[in-house]
Structure 1
Amino acid sequence: MSDSWAVAVDLQESTTPSVQFARLRKVARVAAPCSTREDINGNIQPESSEKGGSRKFCDQTDLAEQSLLNKMIRRSLVRNRNQVEVLQRDPTSPLYSVKSFEELRLKPELLRGVYEVMEFNRPSKIQESALPMMLAQPPQNLIAQSQSGTGKTAAFSLAMLSHVNPENKWPQCLCISPTYELALQIGQVIEHMGKFCPDVTLAYGIRGNRMKRGVNLQAQIVIGTPGTILDWCTKLKLIDPKKITMFVLDEADVMIATQGHRDQSIRIHRHLTKECQMLLFSATFEDSVWSFAERVVPDPNIIKLKREEETLDTIKQFYVICKEKEDKFTSLCNLYGSLTIAQAMIFCHTRKMAAWLAENLSAEGHQVALLSGEMTVEQRAAVIERFKNGLEKVLVTTNVCSRGIDVEQVSLVVNFDLPVGLDGRADNETYLHRIGRTGRFGKRGFAVNMVDSRHSMGIIHEIEMHFERTITELDTSNLEEMESLIS
């Protein structure tokens, strides 16, 4: 792979300005003869350097020339996108997209895990594009956007299992995620996929897993949350960051939205070597995520979706007009009584509302589980395990479960309360992650939003505009209409 390119892979045939911009990142850096950096808008900016105690800045004339050159390169690449995507179509390239797991030349024991345990038939779209990059030699850095339920967790889990040297009994791959539940789920994928790799071990760097300072941690893969992982790297000295050769950051948009997670993630990154392979994943990419990604992933390959592709086509989205919570509850019962539902997840804005709803659903005879942030780690793990095993058919929760929790049988997601930000506007990213709990791996799913005011109707319109999708009104009191819309 030429050093002068950062390959951007479009998951669809069309291209967008943001993808085109991504293709130019490394070009601009190579074209600039002096020390520069590119800001989030693609403009060349001077970058100070220190040598012998003095600071040196680029000449403004040079900057103007570099900016012009950058724009010229951008225009030429927009005219001919095949120049940068040819590497993914060339079978001799290490970044060649694959159509089967055999093409990745995986170890036989990993192939057995993929087929026999995970029961995969062929790579998903994100897997066929991302895995060659993650497994390439020399290692390639990657920033990837992928819809929920498309197999990104399995992709980077397979990359970590392929990457480690089982003979080295120390942490080599490090993965951080924003929640305890998601860390556990990632670990379970690794354990299942690596079933036939007995020499590869896994450790969970999560709250409640108490470790003593200086313990000789022999696990090659460590999965955890930012705060605990940072402690293991700095205070407890369980992980030597200089020996980490692959770093995976999952759900990047959540990381930067939570200031503590963002700061801890950056501090962990600072302890790693420049040679460490960096992989960053998220279902959404706003400007703030790109800015964060630039800080932690140098010279990346980039996979990005167009905004209108972010919502899954397999999920039918509806809204129901209600007056108050009791009206919402009646509509929910009508909906649940008329649909063939394997399992359902219902999202509430507050713990109090979630508790009220769970109690009333139980009184109606439904098998209900309740999950909220004030529960202990052990309680939350037990609730999720029961729900995954089908012991409860309905999970009532707050946003603690909006990300990454993968239960294949979930066919219905209900936003009992619509997701809103602190500014009172639609929280589009949380909406996307919530409804992404259904429609997994191409299966059909339904998302129903309860609208109880003019303001919440405005939230629905904001979501429609953001994703450029229509959300259809549903009358839950009209059984025939419901059956025709959801069939």
Structure 2
Amino acid sequence: MAEPAKDESRLQENAYDVEVQFNDLQKDTDNPLGSVHTFEDLGLPSEVLRALAALRFSKPSKVQEKALPLMLSNPPQNMIAQSQSGTGKTAAFVTTVLSRVDHSKPNQPQALLLAPSRELARQIQSVVTSIGQFLTNLAVAAAIPGSIPKDSRVDKSVVVGTPGTVMDLIRKRQFDVSQLRVLVIDEADNMLDQQGLGEQCARVKSMLPKDIQILLFSATFPDKVMKYATVFAPNANMIKLRKQELTVKGISQMYMDCPSESDKYDILCKLYGLMNIGSSIIFVKTRDSATQIQQRMTNDGHKVSVLHGAYEGAERDTLLEDFRSGKSKVLITTNVLARGIDVSTVSMVINYDIPMKGMGDAMHDTETYLHRIGRTGRFGRVGVSITFISDKKSFDALRAIAQDLEIDLVALKPDDWDETEKLVQRVIKSSRAQPDFVPSGNTV
């Protein structure tokens, strides 16, 4: 179980505005549900309230104030929620799930939560266990590759998994979905994207009860995905942050103008000392380059680890746990860790390769950039993101991302290392000077 928060109330004071768009059913209600100001106002199970208090949730965040009354209303209604990292969205949907489940039937699957990676599925599983710690009969299963033996059945009331594994378990009749009450899809922009996991999610949904409550959550919703989301979760209530609130405010976003592609590695090594002030994540384009950079840095005397999809599940779990615990402090990875993963000590994110999308990396990927840098600046802290550019294509891509997000990036100069260190250290040290508090992973 993740560590309890020491000062969760600081998280709830973030300045952002939440817009709500009610569905037709809600509009027709004489007294539509509004905001709540305490968790007690929601009629939650006493065990859940006790856990929230133990985890130092002093009051609902702004997103929770708006979303929870709608998600908990009866009859159940669908929800599409665009909610930035650190606003309490995971706690919101987990609280809803634990309130919907009949805990007198711990062996009957009643709630399904889907995530794009085993790492995020494991993290959500931990949050369910944490908020449900006082529920006597709570049972949670992880439907991820290698976790459910071929000759066994999914016999837990809450199931957290990845869409491919869940689809296989249903097809093989190892997973009885007939009594499912709620479907949650986290990182929905990626999960519903027709170029990604969208087909698998659609197939899973087609196998579920037609009246299941559908809750879609993501930090970003591109227009084309939002259009599909409204079909996937029909007549849904919607909540979203205002566009100008999307950029993570606690992150100092910088860029390093590298003389050439080959110079990027040497500059990365120069940054190594700064990476170890807290913990750092280095994002690269491919598995091969992640492995090559890790091997090269290790040979040059730097202690770094690498994690990507080529590793087997159990090894991936171990690598991520070593990073969470501080056993390893610098992690090189691909986009497998770009979404949702909470490690409170991460003070720096480096985009060694700018995120791109489309055939031949034809277009900049603003959403992935936003998810990547969101791995730092967690829980009210501040952090640094540094993006490497080395040619006109990478420069144009980063400029387009900055325009999309309406932000100004700080330029770092590779030929003025004293000034670079001063700028980066100033931010990281200001983060470490803050009171140390580590929310329990339910604030993604």
Rounded to whole Å, the distance in 1 between the matches of 2:91 and 2:382 is: 21
Within the candidate set 54, 57, 62, 1:120 is matched to: 57
Could you tell me the TM-score, scaled by structure 1's length?
Answer: 0.78
CA contact (8 A) 1:318 1:474 kept: yes
Q: 1:434 to 1:139 in 2, by over 3 A?
A: same
- 1:300 matched to 2:236? The reply is yes
Within the candidate set 418, 422, 426, 1:479 is matched to: 418
1:218 CA displacement: 3.0
1:456 maps to what in 2? Answer: 394
Rounded to whole Å, the distance in 2 between the matches of 1:233 and 1:167 is: 23
CA contact (8 A) 1:179 1:225 kept: yes
- 1:419 matched to 2:325? The reply is no
SS in 2 for 1:253: helix
Rounded to whole Å, the distance in 2 between the matches of 1:121 and 1:364 is: 47
Q: 1:94 to 1:232 in 2, by over 3 A?
A: farther
1:13 CA displacement: 5.1
2:439 maps to what in 1? Answer: none
Rounded to whole Å, the distance in 2 between the matches of 1:151 and 1:410 is: 18
Rounded to whole Å, the distance in 2 between the matches of 1:122 and 1:363 is: 49
2:250 maps to what in 1? Answer: 314
Written as runs of structure 1 = structure 2, the 5 A alignment for 1:361-400 is: 361-400=297-336
- 1:284 matched to 2:220? The reply is yes
SS in 2 for 1:257: coil
1:364 CA displacement: 4.8
Rounded to whole Å, the distance in 2 between the matches of 1:155 and 1:364 is: 45
1:206 maps to what in 2? Answer: 144
Q: 1:277 to 1:170 in 2, by over 3 A?
A: same
Q: 1:409 to 1:380 in 2, by over 3 A?
A: same
Rounded to whole Å, the distance in 1 between the matches of 2:87 and 2:298 is: 33
- 1:186 matched to 2:140? The reply is no
Q: Deviations over 1:107-127 (max 9, x none)?
A: 2221222232x3333322222
Letter in 1 for 2:73: A
Rounded to whole Å, the distance in 2 between the matches of 1:290 and 1:299 is: 13
1:357 CA displacement: 2.1
- 1:219 matched to 2:156? The reply is yes
Q: 1:275 to 1:483 in 2, by over 3 A?
A: same
1:261 CA displacement: 2.3
CA contact (8 A) 1:341 1:412 kept: no
1:144 maps to what in 2? Answer: 81
Letter in 2 for 1:26: D
2:168 maps to what in 1? Answer: 231
SS in 1 for 2:357: coil
The answer to which structure, 1 or 2, has the higher relative contact order (CA under 8 A, 6+ apart) is: 2
Within the candidate set 12, 23, 26, 2:24 is matched to: 26
Q: 1:398 to 1:260 in 2, by over 3 A?
A: closer
CA contact (8 A) 1:203 1:219 kept: yes
1:475 CA displacement: 2.2
Within the candidate set 189, 209, 217, 1:273 is matched to: 209
SS in 2 for 1:98: coil
1:26 CA displacement: 3.5
Written as runs of structure 1 = structure 2, the 5 A alignment for 1:437-452 is: 437-452=375-390
Rounded to whole Å, the distance in 1 between the matches of 2:299 and 2:60 is: 44
Letter in 1 for 2:46: P
2:97 maps to what in 1? Answer: 160
SS in 2 for 1:294: helix
SS in 2 for 1:483: helix
1:300 CA displacement: 0.8
Long gaps (5+) in structure 2: 1-14, 428-444
1:106 CA displacement: 2.2
Letter in 1 for 2:60: P
CA contact (8 A) 1:410 1:438 kept: yes
Within the candidate set 249, 268, 275, 2:185 is matched to: 249
CA contact (8 A) 1:245 1:277 kept: yes
Rounded to whole Å, the distance in 2 between the matches of 1:235 and 1:218 is: 14
Q: Deviations over 1:116-162 (max 9, x none)?
A: 2x333332222222122222222221000011232211211121112
1:64 maps to what in 2? Answer: none
More divergent stretch after superposition (328-337 vs 388-397): 328-337
SS in 1 for 2:216: strand
Rounded to whole Å, the distance in 1 between the matches of 2:318 and 2:40 is: 37
1:175 maps to what in 2? Answer: 113
Q: 1:418 to 1:260 in 2, by over 3 A?
A: closer
1:327 maps to what in 2? Answer: 263
Q: Deviations over 1:170-226 (max 9, x none)?
A: 01111111111111111011112211113010111111123346x554311011111
1:435 maps to what in 2? Answer: 373
Letter in 1 for 2:259: K
More divergent stretch after superposition (327-336 vs 101-110): 327-336
Long gaps (5+) in structure 1: 1-10, 31-83
Q: Deviations over 1:33-58 (max 9, x none)?
A: xxxxxxxxxxxxxxxxxxxxxxxxxx
- 1:359 matched to 2:295? The reply is yes
2:435 maps to what in 1? Answer: none
CA contact (8 A) 1:312 1:436 kept: yes
SS in 1 for 2:254: strand
Rounded to whole Å, the distance in 1 between the matches of 2:17 and 2:388 is: 35
SS in 2 for 1:243: coil
More divergent stretch after superposition (446-455 vs 292-301): 292-301
CA contact (8 A) 1:151 1:441 kept: no
Rounded to whole Å, the distance in 1 between the matches of 2:59 and 2:262 is: 46
Rounded to whole Å, the distance in 2 between the matches of 1:371 and 1:315 is: 24
Q: 1:131 to 1:365 in 2, by over 3 A?
A: farther
Structure ID, larger Rg: 1
Could you tell me the TM-score, scaled by structure 2's length?
Answer: 0.85
Q: 1:260 to 1:325 in 2, by over 3 A?
A: closer
Q: 1:203 to 1:339 in 2, by over 3 A?
A: closer
Identical counterparts, % of pairs: 40
